[in-house]
Structure 1
Amino acid sequence: MSIKDLKNSEDLFKLWYDEPAEVWNWDQALPVGNGKLGAMVFGHVHKEQIQLNEESLWSGGYLDRNNPDALAQLPKVRQLLFDGKLKEAERLCAIAMMGTPEHQRHYETLGDLFIDFYHDSDEVKNYRRELDINKAMVTVQYEIDGVNFKREILSSAVDDAIVIRITADKKEAISFRGFVGRELFMDTRTALNDSTVALRGGCGGPDSINYSIILKGTSEGGNLYTMGGNIVVENADAVTLYLTSKTSYLSNDFDAVAISTAEAVSKRTYESILQDHIAEYQSYFSRMTLQLGNKQEALELSKIPTDERLERVKEGKLDDGLISLYFHFGRYLLISCSRPGTLPANLQGIWNKHHTSPWGCKFTININTEMNYWPAETCNLSDCHTPLFDLIEKMREPGRHTAKVMYDCGGFVAHHNVDLWGDTAPQDHWMPATVWPMGAAWLCLHLWEHYEFTCDLKFLKKAYETLKESAEFFVDYLIEDRNGYLVTCPSVSPENTYRLESGETGSLCIGPSMDSQIIYALFSSCIEASELLNTDKEFAETLISLRERLPKPSIGKYGQIMEWAEDYDEVEPGHRHISQLFALHPSNQITVKDTPQLAKAARNTLERRLAHGGGHTGWSRAWIINFWARLEEGEKAYENINALLAKSTLINLLDNHPPFQIDGNFGGAAGVAEMLVQSHSNEINIFPAMPKQWSEGEVTGLCARGGFELSIKWTENKAYVTVTSKAGNRCIIRTPRFAHTSEEVSVEKLQDNVIAFDTIKGEDYHLEF
């Protein structure tokens, strides 16, 4: 099967349904986005609802929330913890070390576009709504009174607009009114001219972010005019609506820019808008293809509505075509909510329906934001990673202030949440999560990962200053524990609670395992970057010395990786966070090949969590897929992919925490990639966690560290691999059995199934096994 054949199998890339979303049921609506403007399309016949988001509509401006009493009380909190006075330490911490006020700014929905169609009948035939993730477009089709109606909805990055095309196969059949609203807000809806209406308002408060939504229409035949803040259409042959939106976050001229953007796109033909939109989107999407299992079987199952396919999985039936679709859907979502020059994906991407959203729909950086970007490098969307790097840079100045005011430390620090403004002070008033000074450090590891995949020394030279500044905080913050280790204090193991032998429970602690593992990874990246750039050797020596004194992963009484410095029991043995396994994934401190005893303990940790009900949130289940993949347990990883689909996936394939969080989609897609190819252990490991079910398939464009891109086609007994070298580095490849090269290259056999060869940048190398 050629790549062309795979791409021409259009039905493999479609989510489709034979019914509209239930009335206002957001969990069934279909998402479109251009990185800045997001929309959820419900597909209702008589009253369409398209729920809207604009990436920068947050609840207000920057606040300095750093607690002025934190620094004076820090030594007391530490001493209470060292004295074993847990409750006293937590009481003091709750007063002195929480943010003031407690909460950061939160992300808000933009509103809704409603289209009331003047259909004369309620009898609907041949209904179908679909999301084509190969074209990034939602289509709704149905028949009423013998007339076939069609809507096409897309969010174009080229034209910075949401465009809705409405057609019918009978002339003069289209009549409706369209208007934009924002529930609970007394915002102003006005007509700008006879084809354009506007909704303007703000989030409230003296430092409110204000917004403007512009809705413009053009018609072919019939009449189109404005009245009462509505666009009214009578007896048209075809209609195109153009929706644009801007906020005051970036410009005081946001309203004028929104108007001019709508005017500009409305002057183009729909055909040219669509063509440019598809071409621009596919410049990202077509970098990869994936087909798992038998293609013909996947094509047959694609004829079943997506919600019914999910029900089949819940009944225990296997559907590898749905897994392939889910994988590509994850890539579609990342392209649609994180483009160069946009804000990064938050807890719900750019598809939040709330004014007061769950967890503020912020950037939650104790795993969720990081998980959003796990597929960026492996799944050939490296440039979609850049909005996260922009956020990290935005955090540096506030993070320096927090580091100094709260801890009297150099460098920069952030806790477990960040908002639009890069606010780094502790968020919430919740002891299991709030006082955790590791958020910036974990984010900075994405800078290093980007270098590992791209081998871009120019990027690394710039990123090194940020990595170094994050490390500098811990040079100052780490303190010696009673065993002579350097540890964080105070901190928590994200969102978990432990129980002492006395029965007392708590979260605040000294040196949780995840902290040491993140710091080890951060210091290691700085040390290696220093060597590559031939700079800062003295600082690198300091980090080498400190790294030796960090606690290493330890094995506890259940044969598990210990989560805390002491072998405490968890209050919830099936807790959703499995933070102590950071060393296994996304880090590489635990591997099957190099640390077999720790890998065995990691396996025990997972089994214990799952035996007590773990994996009950979508993102947690997604992390578990990646863990099993790193443990090279293909059947376990496959089992958990099916559990993710059956238990934590909504009808529209979005991840269910519950409620909806987008991180599970991204973590799930990354997990599939990890099952096929891994490169975290100084070699490219092909099929490290391949389940028996995937006896045949094809993947193109999968990326590996060292600057390599792989395409693999396989059957039960044979695999053909093309390795493209993008950086000219030496390539080390591990395969399930001995691999042969098909050209005259000098190959060194390192083991029976491990070979190495030098490469030239831009050249392809062919293997088979």
Structure 2
Amino acid sequence: MPRTIVTHWQHAPTGATGSRDAHCLYPGVPVAIDMQKRVGRNRIIYNGPAAIWPEGLPMGNGDLAAMAFQPADSLCWGLTKSDVRDLRHPVVPWCDHPTIRRIFENEHNHLLTDQINEEEWDFRTYFPCFLPAGGLWLSALHQGELAVKRQVLDLYQAQHTLELVCGGQVTSFVYADANVLAIRLTGMNGRRLRLRFGPEAVEPGHAGDDNSPTAQLIRKEIFRRQLRHWQPDQGRLQVDYADGHRTLLMLQIRGATLGFSQPDANEATVDLQADTVDILMTIATSRQGAFLQRRASLLLETAWQRNVDRLLADHHNCWHERWSRSAVHLPQRILESLWFYASYTMASSSRGAYPTPLMSAWNLRLDQPYGGDFHNNINSQMCYWPLPAANHADLMPPFLKHFWSVIPEMEMETRRVWNLPGIKVPFASMGRGIDHWGVGYWRYELFVSAWLAQVAWWHYEFTGDRQALLQFGWPLIQGVAEFYMAYLETDPATGKLSLPLTKLCEDTMFNVVPAQRLVRDAGLDLTAVHSHLRDAAQAADVIGQPQPAARYRSALANLNPLPVVGGEFSPAPAMAMDVPVSHPYQLAAIYPAGLVTQLGPASLLPIAQRTLAQVWRCSSRVSIGQPDTGRLRWNDDLSMGWIATARAWMGDGDGALDALLNGWVTSTLKTNGFLTEQSRRPSERSAMGWMQNQLCGLANGINEMLLQSHSGVIQIFPALPGTWTDVSFVHLVARPGVRVSARRSGGIIRWVVLSAEKQNTVCLRNPWPGQALESLAVVDTSFPDVLMPVAANDAGHLLLTILPNQPLMVVPKDRLPLEPVIDAPHDDGIEPWSFTGPIPLRPGDPQPDGTWTSWWGKP
């Protein structure tokens, strides 16, 4: 995250031209998008206050985040910052792998994991944890003075606006390129308010905070000292934490005067003396360096010199650049809105020192679930799955750099706990390379290492950034591969390589059959080793390391096959798929491993299809009070997005839409655009929390319905639902770093445009399979009157050579010449988004039942 304020909008997004107030033009693409209308109509509107913080509306710049909410007679901004966290390691004597294996296998003490849980889990294991950075409260001295009439979160402009009953207005935004929260109050001249700020984002016991016993213990444990100081135009709060780090919250005000009984008082009064009053606030941390007060003062001084109007203009331009990178148009308005919302939340939370935390940057609890950690057994990765394909790969470096930075600690822990070389990625971590849970069998989720390294490999596949692969990706990819190579041993039953001790993931059978808690070759872990050795060999080829590549391929060729029982991928050898599990792990061979897709191999296609068809029956996630129809059994923080993506990779667009819309959005959508952790009736969702990976999993499913590029083949609209006759996208990205745009209207694909910054030869699955190659035209858009010859390989895929920054259009000849299209969607005035589900997937289908109507917006 830049620490200096940019002076102007320096450049347009790659491949797009135009100013903030003009249409975005994409070279070679016959469409001009009014991005302000396309994104802006997806604003979130409340016709009243957000009385508790879980209903609040989020803002952020990738490092500093704010959640705006309004308890009675107050306006509140709860703040978080990516590097405000406790990094202490719990002092717990963890049991190492050789000991667990000896006791479990030789002594047959299958209750060992229960004993370890009891010994290794207590309040101390809550740390390390993600922490709120502070809170700012403006309170009325008289009842009703700050009553909220209406509020809007404008996604396009990334700003929040409150309309007050008294006629005043409050606008706030987290400046895109510096850690400054700006608040502007207008129409309130002559009023007096109360101002407070503190180290917590929510007052304990108020506005949705239950002040739990754990929170009370954390409060005593974490905060060591708080120093406040008020001046007539400034307030600051220094917070010293138990792990040795320090933060400084600094606030400055113009157009008003602060009054206080003494310089270190807990609060101040604000006398508004102008029609426009501006407040700027920043947070400096010792993790970024010394001289906190000096750094905070200089940052705010620079901001005042530019003034809030110019900051807001620059802020809008930065977000226009973000939105101009890509766009989609979907028939289901709610899915389109959530796709943009996923990009908004990731751009608002993944540009700082650390990746996006599990509970998102806007969870304001002091006692966040799981400590707000990085859950590396899919949640962390799912946050980053959609970014490269959505043309937001620039948001991935915090993920890559963080896990690269803790490689030495991960290697040390791997040697200490496993007595093996390489890297075993922690199941759960927070700013360090140590598994801060450590609890018993959870460390045997071996797949977490492969999936985390896979994000680094995908970054290269979509961007072609060899330097980033060499510096950040390869050390992690190689380390994980070396751990697997050392952990593999010969299976006495097959003579092939196998994983001697692995975990059946989150299975309820743990509580029923202790002897099966740890097994040989759990399907998910074995699948991950298959895919990782494949990817590691390819990565070694890219960076010129033939010896590791040969070793990995040799081991891969001698690895036990994936367990299959009853014609379906199974959790473990000789174990039927219908054991109750909490997530659909049997789909891993399809996604994200990509060992089988709709393109093959033929031997695995029927297994994958049968697994997808039968996966519903084995879920253990049935929420309390949920209709037991089978439809929603997987409805938790990640499963529906995963199922949708797997269905898309198998070409089932209707199934993907059913999972996302009818299965997920219908029963989890909150008023502020997030999705609840598990399905609940609308009346029960208000105070529920959420996880960041939910929005990203949904966006990822949409990406894969529109564009796929696995198996060396680019596929346009590979998994469209039957009702999606009018759909388009601009500048989504396919492997190997090719920007793709396409439009379908009236059920017919009209055109496809491909471009790249580097020369690439790609295979494009024929978007018009019923038409002969002679009827298609390939056009270099720089020379639209010259038709290039169409070449194809033996599989019938089009072979295209794309030169740098010279877009190619593929289109049926009978549709030439093309007329440019203006994409400026009408603002339909829906306030806010409107969705009632479930919906029939095909014309003539009966209305689905067994799910709840979604709830969107506050009355």
State how 1:78-227 maps to structure 2 within 5 Å: 79-80=105-106, 85=108, 87-88=110-111, 90=113, 102=125, 104-117=127-140, 121=144, 127-144=149-166, 148-168=167-187, 172=189, 174-181=191-198, 182=200, 183=203, 188=226, 190-203=228-241, 205=242, 207-219=243-255, 223-225=257-259
Aligned to 1:704: 734
* Counterpart amino acid of residue 278 in structure 1: H
2:802 maps to which of 747, 756, 759? 759
Alignment of 1:51 onto 2:89? no
Aligned-pair CA distance for 1:180: 0.7
Q: SS state of the match for residue 376, structure 1?
A: coil
Q: SS state of the match for residue 421, structure 2?
A: coil
Q: Is the 8 A contact 1:105 1:419 kept in 2?
A: yes
C-alpha separation in 1, matches of 2:670 and 2:723? 24
Aligned positions, number: 719
Q: SS state of the match for residue 320, structure 2?
A: helix
Aligned-pair CA distance for 1:727: 2.4
Aligned to 1:313: none
Farther off after superposition, 665-674 or 452-461: 452-461
Aligned to 1:315: none
Aligned-pair CA distance for 1:255: 4.0
Alignment of 1:32 onto 2:59? yes
Alignment of 1:579 onto 2:565? no
Alignment of 1:714 onto 2:714? no
Alignment of 1:8 onto 2:37? yes
C-alpha separation in 2, matches of 1:79 and 1:472? 24
Aligned-pair CA distance for 1:741: 2.6
Aligned to 2:784: none
Aligned to 1:516: 526
Aligned-pair CA distance for 1:715: 0.3
Question: Structure 1 395/496 Cα, relative in aligned 2: closer, same or farther at 3 Å?
Answer: farther
Alignment of 1:324 onto 2:333? no
Aligned-pair CA distance for 1:208: 3.9
2:349 maps to which of 337, 345, 348? 337
Q: Which runs of 5 or more residues in structure 1 are unaligned?
A: 294-319
Farther off after superposition, 35-44 or 401-410: 35-44
Aligned-pair CA distance for 1:238: 1.1
Farther off after superposition, 326-335 or 758-767: 758-767
Aligned to 1:252: 290
Q: Is the 8 A contact 1:55 1:343 kept in 2?
A: yes
Q: Is the 8 A contact 1:27 1:651 kept in 2?
A: no
Q: SS state of the match for residue 658, structure 2?
A: helix
Aligned-pair CA distance for 1:45: 7.7
Q: Is the 8 A contact 1:576 1:616 kept in 2?
A: no
Aligned to 1:308: none
* Counterpart amino acid of residue 412 in structure 1: I
* Counterpart amino acid of residue 750 in structure 2: A
Alignment of 1:484 onto 2:495? yes
Q: Is the 8 A contact 1:40 1:351 kept in 2?
A: yes
Q: Is the 8 A contact 1:366 1:494 kept in 2?
A: no
Alignment of 1:464 onto 2:474? yes
C-alpha separation in 1, matches of 2:794 and 2:668? 41
Aligned to 1:447: 456
State how 1:359-370 maps to structure 2 within 5 Å: 359-370=370-381
Q: Is the 8 A contact 1:619 1:663 kept in 2?
A: yes
Q: Which runs of 5 or more residues in structure 2 are unaligned?
A: 1-29, 205-218, 620-629, 679-688, 780-786, 813-859
Aligned to 1:19: 48
Question: Structure 1 393/444 Cα, relative in aligned 2: closer, same or farther at 3 Å?
Answer: same
Question: Structure 1 174/269 Cα, relative in aligned 2: closer, same or farther at 3 Å?
Answer: farther
Q: SS state of the match for residue 402, structure 1?
A: helix
* Counterpart amino acid of residue 598 in structure 2: V
Aligned to 1:731: 762
Aligned-pair CA distance for 1:328: 0.1
Aligned-pair CA distance for 1:569: 5.9
Q: SS state of the match for residue 712, structure 2?
A: coil
Question: Structure 1 71/100 Cα, relative in aligned 2: closer, same or farther at 3 Å?
Answer: farther
How high is the TM-score relative to the length of structure 2? 0.78
* Counterpart amino acid of residue 587 in structure 1: A
Q: SS state of the match for residue 539, structure 1?
A: helix
* Counterpart amino acid of residue 73 in structure 1: T
Question: Structure 1 239/405 Cα, relative in aligned 2: closer, same or farther at 3 Å?
Answer: same
Query: Which string of whole-angstrom CA distances, capped at 9 and with x for unpartnered residues, describes residues 329-375 of structure 1?
Result: 00001100001x53100112211211111011000000000001011
C-alpha separation in 1, matches of 2:577 and 2:767? 39
Q: Is the 8 A contact 2:488 2:499 kept in 1?
A: yes
C-alpha separation in 1, matches of 2:275 and 2:369? 42
Question: Structure 1 755/325 Cα, relative in aligned 2: closer, same or farther at 3 Å?
Answer: same
Aligned to 2:302: 264
Alignment of 1:239 onto 2:277? yes
Aligned-pair CA distance for 1:590: 1.3
Query: Which string of whole-angstrom CA distances, capped at 9 and with x for unpartnered residues, describes residues 508-552 of structure 1?
Result: 2222111112112221122112223332x2222221121122232
C-alpha separation in 1, matches of 2:40 and 2:393? 27
Aligned-pair CA distance for 1:75: 4.6
C-alpha separation in 1, matches of 2:77 and 2:760? 48
1:670 maps to which of 663, 677, 700? 700
Aligned-pair CA distance for 1:65: 6.0
Q: SS state of the match for residue 40, structure 1?
A: strand
Question: Structure 1 692/175 Cα, relative in aligned 2: closer, same or farther at 3 Å?
Answer: farther
* Counterpart amino acid of residue 234 in structure 1: L
Aligned to 1:680: 710
**Same amino acid, percent of matched pairs:** 20
Aligned-pair CA distance for 1:395: 2.4
Aligned to 2:600: 594
Aligned-pair CA distance for 1:223: 4.5
Aligned to 1:393: 404
Aligned to 2:24: none
Aligned-pair CA distance for 1:397: 0.8
C-alpha separation in 2, matches of 1:326 and 1:703? 19
C-alpha separation in 1, matches of 2:614 and 2:293? 54
Aligned-pair CA distance for 1:249: 2.6
Question: Structure 1 597/248 Cα, relative in aligned 2: closer, same or farther at 3 Å?
Answer: same
Question: Structure 1 88/640 Cα, relative in aligned 2: closer, same or farther at 3 Å?
Answer: closer
Question: Structure 1 123/503 Cα, relative in aligned 2: closer, same or farther at 3 Å?
Answer: closer
Aligned to 1:73: 99
Q: Is the 8 A contact 1:70 1:96 kept in 2?
A: no
Q: Is the 8 A contact 1:140 1:151 kept in 2?
A: yes
* Counterpart amino acid of residue 180 in structure 1: F
Question: Structure 1 20/245 Cα, relative in aligned 2: closer, same or farther at 3 Å?
Answer: same
Aligned-pair CA distance for 1:93: 6.1
Aligned-pair CA distance for 1:123: 10
Q: SS state of the match for residue 397, structure 2?
A: helix
Question: Structure 1 479/65 Cα, relative in aligned 2: closer, same or farther at 3 Å?
Answer: farther
C-alpha separation in 2, matches of 1:512 and 1:159? 46
Farther off after superposition, 58-67 or 42-51: 58-67
How high is the TM-score relative to the length of structure 1? 0.87
Q: SS state of the match for residue 87, structure 1?
A: coil
C-alpha separation in 1, matches of 2:529 and 2:301? 51
